[in-house]
Amino acid sequence: MRLLNQHQFKPVFDSADLRLSAQGVLLLARFNQLEHSRLGLVIGKKNVKLAVQRNRIKRQIREYFRQKQAQLPGMDIVVIARKNLDTQENQELQSTLATVWKRLIRQSEAKIKKFALQQTVN
């Protein structure tokens, strides 16, 4: 359920189907051919200085993904931390993730419907 190496991350960075951002978070998503979603995290030292904070953010994002992955179609999702994400408390981070995840689910469903309509026309 995770993106682990460069070979798995590269297609998402090169041709993301969806790009969403919220306070301190950029989310890239690309539909995959699998039945489940996969998550990749990019939490760099440049944007989040302390290892404790990076690990806290990773735990929060993974847990949120675990709770919401049943609602997602098969997609590869990369979450990128931006500056000042480490200043957010856990509840604020959860709120940010909720906002961006709702938009991701809504936009992915819209893309799937649009693709299905194109297939029926052809």
- pLDDT tens, N- to C-terminus, the chain (122 residues): 899 999 999 999 999 999 999 999 999 999 998 999 999 999 999 999 999 999 999 999 999 999 999 998 899 999 999 998 999 999 999 999 999 999 999 999 998 888 777 777 76
Stretch (H or E) spanning 90: helix 90-121
Contact, 3 vs 78, CB < 8 A? yes
Contact, 60 vs 90, CB < 8 A? yes
Reported pTM:
0.90
Residue with the two structure tokens 């989040």: 48
The architecture in CATH of the region 6-121 reads 2-Layer Sandwich (3.30)
What are the boundaries of each domain within the chain?
6-121
